[in-house]
Amino acid sequence: MRLVTWNLWWRFGDWEPRQPAISRTLEALDADVVCMQEVWSSENGPDQADELAKVLGMHYVRTPERWWKGHSFGNAILSKYPIIETESIQLPPTDGPGARWALSALLDRHGTHIPVVCTHLDYRFDQSQRRQEQVKTIFELVASKHDPEGHPVLLAGDFNATPNSAEIRMITGEAPTPVEGLAMTDAWPQCNDTPGWTWDKKNPYLAEATWPQRRLDYVFVSWPRPAPLGNIESAHLAGVEPVDGVTASDHWAVVVDLVDNSTS
């Protein structure tokens, strides 16, 4: 099973020519599940998640729409398989204007139920403590979906934190996890010895970025799980090559192929 996570950079930059570049990149990847961040919709017009779902022939769900200057900013999950349950959890702090969310979807893959969580954490360099609080909330959601004998939970998104940060180490178990007995495998290092930067100065939009060369975007798989189900077969970056001269986003996408049976 193939899962893609990608921050689509909302309506920033040259957003209009970027839309077909995003669409064509996703078409070529032919993913089973796409987790998207910085997805937009217009109060009186198009919805990016809806339009991409139609092009790709996928089901979708998105976070609640909160309008800012006529547009919303959120997360979405696209799936080849029917979405039978969904839940949106606002991440702390819940009293500010820039709400962040964890979006979950339960997919029905020919009778196998696959829980997926898509999220996007706060971005400032000095907000590690806030991101740690957000990870605690996300872990509560993951724990509520996790069955150690069933399909593992797939958690993906833009975490705005590097692998050695406290918040990412909380997820992988390199630091104490928020829920005892639950940790998550970071897909990238399972099959790569390269840094996997998704916020990369090779991206033309980051020519003047203050802190490039960081891996901020992740796919995690919950543990314990009935191996090899959910083990990582491969992981690579996408969106790196321009489409008709247009780079699709300021982030590279992460593409992960997972073992999809427990007997392999």
Look up the CATH number of the domain holding residue 178.
Answer: 3.60.10.10
The range of the structural domain enclosing residue 109 comes to 2-258
Predicted local distance difference test score (pLDDT) of residue 264:
34
Whether residue 10 lies inside any domain: the answer is: yes
Whether residue 263 lies inside any domain: the answer is: no
Whether residue 264 lies inside any domain: the answer is: no
Predicted local distance difference test score (pLDDT) of residue 51:
97
Total domains in the chain come to 1
Predicted local distance difference test score (pLDDT) of residue 98:
66
Predicted local distance difference test score (pLDDT) of residue 90:
95
Whether residue 146 lies inside any domain: the answer is: yes
From residue 214, alpha-carbon distances to 51, 125, 175, 203, 237 in Å are 30, 12, 20, 12, 13
Predicted local distance difference test score (pLDDT) of residue 94:
81
- What tokens does 122 get? 């706060």
Predicted local distance difference test score (pLDDT) of residue 263:
41
Whether residue 66 lies inside any domain: the answer is: yes
Whether residue 135 lies inside any domain: the answer is: yes
Residues of the chain with pLDDT under 50: 263-264
Do 6 and 36 form a contact (C-beta atoms < 8 A)? yes
Could you read off the pLDDT of 183-197 as tens digits, one per residue? 999 999 999 999 999
Whether residue 182 lies inside any domain: the answer is: yes
